[in-house]
Amino acid sequence: MTTSTTRRKHIVVIGAGFGGVSFCQNFPAGLAEITLVDRNNYHLFQPLLYQVATADLSPSDIAEPIRTIFDRRQDVTVLMDEVTDINLRDRQVIMRRRMLSYDYLVLAIGARTSYFGHDDWARYAGGLKGIDDALAIRNRVLTAFEEAENCTDPEQVKRLTTFVVVGGGPTGVELAGALGELTRRILKRDFKRIDTSRARVFLIQGAPRLLPPYHASLSEYARQKLVQLGVDVRVSARVTRVGPHQVELADGKIIEAATIIWCAGVEGHPLVRKLGLPLDHNGRLKVQPDLRLPAHPEVLAIGDIAALTDARGRDVPGVAPAALQMGRYAARVLTAELRGHPAPPPFVYFDKGSMATIGRAAAVLEIGRLRMTGLIAWIGWLIVHLAMLVGFNNKVSVLTEWIFRYITYRQGARIITAPRTEELLRNTPSQ
């Protein structure tokens, strides 16, 4: 068992997402020993995952090695390991390779894709939560066109070049828009035997409109822009079954597609279900106004895993800005306690607005009563996402890539890295 070897308190942080990294960056150096644990060795900028999935960016553009972020912090130890259990009574974190004892624990483990009780659908409709997911989608999309170029059966070509995105939230809208641009504007110069502009992209949304948290006018703008990109938008369309290469809707409509992507919901990390603590309907930990767990004040939960109504009575959304703010606040809470200072006032979420991009020079942006669409909103989206990227090299790389794509209508990451993907695209799916 590994324990703290100094008199300073030991803080274990699980998860190097926005919340976990924000906590470590804002916690005063030298006040405690921090161990940051993540199963990956990089911090991922999830909001741009869809651009990796559609060959806009490379994985390295949106990921920064954790050790690089904290290479100047002698009090921060980074461990690449997977947490399998937590013993709250004895204050121990159990991992695959070791066990850690802690004085304080910060849970920043994020969320996973939710299939609303149909986990078997994951076999046919992958989510988009990590780099592996994004690369799998990219490989599948690009391989579908390569297979279609070699195919002589029109029906098979139609199925190969049909893509279904389930979920009309920001991720689904951005992904569907990117697929529409990819098929209509980018790939049409690459293939000679097939017309990629005839590819079909479906966006399936169970709610009456896209982007439900946004104002109705922005939802309608997003729908119109997607239609202009050739996306077949279906609202009030509930998915009842997902099988090999097909999606069935409540009205009996069956869509045959080689690629199905699930962006319809998220739920808390399964690890928290082992803790025996109160959870909300999405499997997130219910936390107190200071982000501590009831009955366990030494444990704080931040980011997507925390279900919190802030001091002003607002439900804190599971978005990157909220995770960053919760990370900073949690650092203040523990800093005050370790220094013997009064605790900070309860957490208040500062809503910096919501935004989503729908394609080239098209986006929606909402900040309070301020609503913008089009090029101005798109530029705002670019600025905000560049500012949030960790690492100067990533900012330069992504900005350069965006400028290049805007001028040339070309993408530079159209590389298939898993040739066996073609096995998933045959007439008879492997069982």
Tell me what pLDDT residue 411 has. Answer: 59
Q: Which residues contact 5 (CB under 8 A, 6 or more apart)?
A: none
Q: E strands along 181-238, which residues?
A: 200-204, 231-234
Rg (the chain; Cα; Å): 22
- 420 has a pLDDT exceeding 60: no
pLDDT of res. 423: 53
With residue 49 as reference, give the H or E element that holds it. helix 49-53
* Confidence at 236, pLDDT banded by 50, 70, 90: very high
CA distance 146 to 151: 9
Give per-residue pLDDT as tens, 335-354.
999 999 999 999 999 988 89
Using the predicted structure, report yes or no on whether residue 426 has a pLDDT greater than 60: no
In the predicted structure, residue 268 carries a pLDDT above the cut 50: yes
Asked if pLDDT for residue 3 goes beyond 60, the answer is no
C-alpha–C-alpha distance, residues 383 and 347, integer Å: 27
- Per-residue pLDDT for 104 more than 90? yes
Confidence class for position 386, pLDDT limits 50, 70, 90 = confident
Which range is least confidently modeled, 20-24, 111-115, 301-305, 358-362?
358-362
Q: Is pTM beyond 0.75 here?
A: yes
Would you state the pLDDT for residue 186?
86
Q: Confidence band (pLDDT; 50, 70, 90) for 327?
A: very high
Phi-psi region of 218 (alpha: psi -120 to 50; beta: other; left: phi over 0): alpha
- Can 10-39+81-113+267-339 and 119-264+360-425 be said to share one CATH topology? yes
Helices 18-26, 320-339: crossing angle, 10 deg rounding: 30
State residue 429's pLDDT score: 41
Q: Where are the beta strands (DSSP E) in 257-329?
A: 259-262, 266-268, 285-286, 292-293, 296-301, 306-307
Looking at every residue in the chain, the average pLDDT score rounds to 90
DSSP-derived secondary structure letter, 8 = S
CA distances 124 to 89, 134, 202, 256, 261, Å, are 40, 15, 16, 12, 8
Position 300 pLDDT exceeds 70: yes
Q: Which pLDDT score, from 0 to 100, does residue 278 have?
A: 92
Closest CA to 19 of 330, 297, 280: 330
What Å distances lie between residue 79 and 40, 231, 254, 289, 315, CA to CA? 9, 43, 46, 30, 32
pLDDT 10s digits, 63-94: 999 999 999 999 999 999 999 999 999 999 99
Cα–Cα distance between 66 and 75 in angstroms, integer? 14
User: What kind of fold does domain 119-264+360-425 have according to CATH?
Assistant: FAD/NAD(P)-binding domain (3.50.50)
Domain ranges of the chain: 10-39+81-113+267-339, 119-264+360-425
Active site residues: 174
Statement: residue 393 has pLDDT above 70? no
Read off the pLDDT of residues 130-170 as tens digits, 9 standing for 90 and up: 999 999 999 999 999 999 999 999 999 999 999 999 999 99
Fold category of 10-39+81-113+267-339 in CATH: FAD/NAD(P)-binding domain (3.50.50)
